[in-house]
Structure 1
Amino acid sequence: MKHAEQLYYRLGATLYMPAIMPDLAQRLTTTQAGSVVLCTEDAISEHQIESALKNIDKLLMSFPQIRTNLFIRARSPQVLSNLLSLETIGQIKGFVIPKIDHSNVYEYKEAIEDSGKDKFYLMPTIETEVAFDNQELIRLRKIIDTFSVGIPCFRIGGNDLLNLLNIKRPDYVTIYETPVRIAIDNCITAFRPFGYQLSAPVFEYIDDENLPLLKKELMLDRAYGFHNKTAIHPIQVPLIQEILSFKNDEIDLAKKIILHQDKAVFKEAGQMCEPSTHINWAKKVLSIDGRK
């Protein structure tokens, strides 16, 4: 779990790319995103799956020198099995599992165990009805506890959850001003107290004029404790990585909390610091300081 959490803080903005794109190598060598997901699910059609797998294999056979953490979003347990059978698959960091719930979790587990390859990381995505039922999320978490692979984070599929509610988010509200906020709250309480991290949902508007709203949403992501967010366009990457990274003043404050942890309370930078309730946050900040 520890190594998986360290990877979480290196993910930064996770940029999704359709796996059928012909220039994947060039895009991977030039991206500034902390992580990239090659998508074989919603970003492509059913009839394009075979072409996407061939494109991925071709990319990995001449794997370029890249700085980003590379994942593949497997469309189904069968596609995951097909990917795991590629001789070149060891080049990637891991897989994103879409729409995970009780209907498919054991199939994904079986695909991993049958492959005999457990060095990969998995990022399961919560984007079905289970997100609106806290008890079912807890039951799902207990199953995933038995997986042999590292879990850097659970991803929250905001648009799929909106789709379940027959809603399309308008371009003047953040995700926290929609009913999906309930699902976000459920995921936080079901997973984070038990050692799992979470990724903030995508912001689907990509024009320059929408960047102020993205910034507002990112500030709320930070308030909710997220340090990774899905990106669907390179224009979003710098802002996501700037706002969701820890700042120098936060690192300095964390050091002071550790230094004064024997005190009940002290004042610093105009705020009350109570080490007994802030110590976990401080340890987290310092454990990842210098991670880049």
Structure 2
Amino acid sequence: MSFPLTWLYAPGDRPQVVRKALASGADVVIVDLEDAVAPERKAYALDATVDLLSDPHPLPVHVRIHSMRDIPPLASLPGLGGFRVPKVAHATDIRRIAELVPGVPLYPLLETALAVEHAYAIAGAHPAVHGIALGEADLRADLGVREDGGLDWPRSRIVVAARAAALPPPAQSVHPDVRDLESLAASCARGRDLGFLGRAAIHPRQLPIIEQAYLPTPDEVAAAEEVVKAAETESGALALPDGRFVDAAVVEGARRVLTLAARREE
């Protein structure tokens, strides 16, 4: 199993920017038909995205829709990798879309206090849900949060909800200041501590910072190798040479560390 670490947004009304995003090295490109596109350019953005996705691409291309009207022209295109669905507040919101587009992966964005309260129900609403994430700009406004630490509880909430619903760990929301890479690195380190895996970006210069922050350190790789080696020779609870006992969940986490470490060799 591969674990995407970088998810790059590109505005749907700027096809040349989208094509640069496809060549940026991001793991996933998200064509944005919502906040990044002015109202008078929504129709053009949709048409341009239909044209782009008429052919398959070597990496997943998701579309953050603006409204339900965006779905029918895009749903059956060979280049579509999934829909990012903004402002989901109830499980019924995502079930309705899943019934319209069977087989298309869906990624609900939770952007209000109500959505966070319903996080687990949304995460488990339908097999088409492949992941959840926060929309932090809108959530911050909804909650009236001024300091970044005020979002730690909602962040932890969706990490737990994703895990409980057997989904991959969520990716962090975007860091809006594309010039302040030092703050981006610090924010990624905090996100990793909270259980996120990877991050959405709005500029290619952010991608290497995100990837570096989420790749395991040499010490983490060595510890994971020790756990996996023990798991291959024993069953049940494992005793490591230093006397620590680890169980199946720890072994699973160690294998994920080694999968991520393999990216350095690619």
Corresponding position of 1:97: 85
Please give the secondary structure, in 2, of the residue aligned with 1:95: strand
Please give the secondary structure, in 1, of the residue aligned with 2:124: helix
Specify which of 120, 125, 145 is matched with residue 138 of structure 1. 120
1:180 equivalent in alignment to 2:151: yes
1:55 equivalent in alignment to 2:48: yes
1:163 equivalent in alignment to 2:141: yes
1:106 equivalent in alignment to 2:76: no
Specify which of 122, 132, 152 is matched with residue 154 of structure 1. 132
Amino acid at match of 1:95: F
- Report how far residue 168 of structure 1 moved: 5.5
The 5 A counterparts of 1:246-265 are: 246-261=216-231, 262=234, 263-265=238-240
Amino acid at match of 1:231: A
Corresponding position of 1:237: 207
Matches of 2:120 and 2:23 in 1, distance apart? 39
**Count of equivalent residues:** 256
Kept after mapping to 2: 8 A contact 1:260/1:275: no
Specify which of 198, 208, 212 is matched with residue 228 of structure 1. 198
Kept after mapping to 2: 8 A contact 1:132/1:182: no
- Report how far residue 127 of structure 1 moved: 1.4
Give unpaired runs (5+ residues) of structure 1.
1-5, 170-174
Q: TM-score, normalised by structure 1?
A: 0.77
Matches of 1:106 and 1:142 in 2, distance apart? 10
Amino acid at match of 1:163: A
Q: TM-score, normalised by structure 2?
A: 0.84
**Same amino acid, percent of matched pairs:** 22
| Runs of 4+, deviation exceeding 6 Å | none
Corresponding position of 1:129: 113
CA deviations 1:168-218 (Å, max 9, x no partner) are 66xxxxx4x1x21111111122221331121112111111xx221111111
Q: Which deviates the most, 236-245 or 74-83?
A: 74-83
Amino acid at match of 2:66: R
Amino acid at match of 2:79: Q
Specify which of 235, 245, 248 is matched with residue 274 of structure 1. 245
Give unpaired runs (5+ residues) of structure 2.
none
Amino acid at match of 2:143: L
Corresponding position of 2:255: 283
Distance 1:281 1:80, change over 3 A: same
Matches of 1:142 and 1:55 in 2, distance apart? 33
Question: RMSD of the TM alignment (CA)?
Answer: 2.6
- Report how far residue 225 of structure 1 moved: 2.5
Matches of 1:104 and 1:193 in 2, distance apart? 20
Please give the secondary structure, in 2, of the residue aligned with 1:222: helix
Kept after mapping to 2: 8 A contact 1:24/1:59: no
- Using CA pairs under 8 Å that are at least 6 residues apart, name the structure with larger relative contact order, 1 or 2: 1
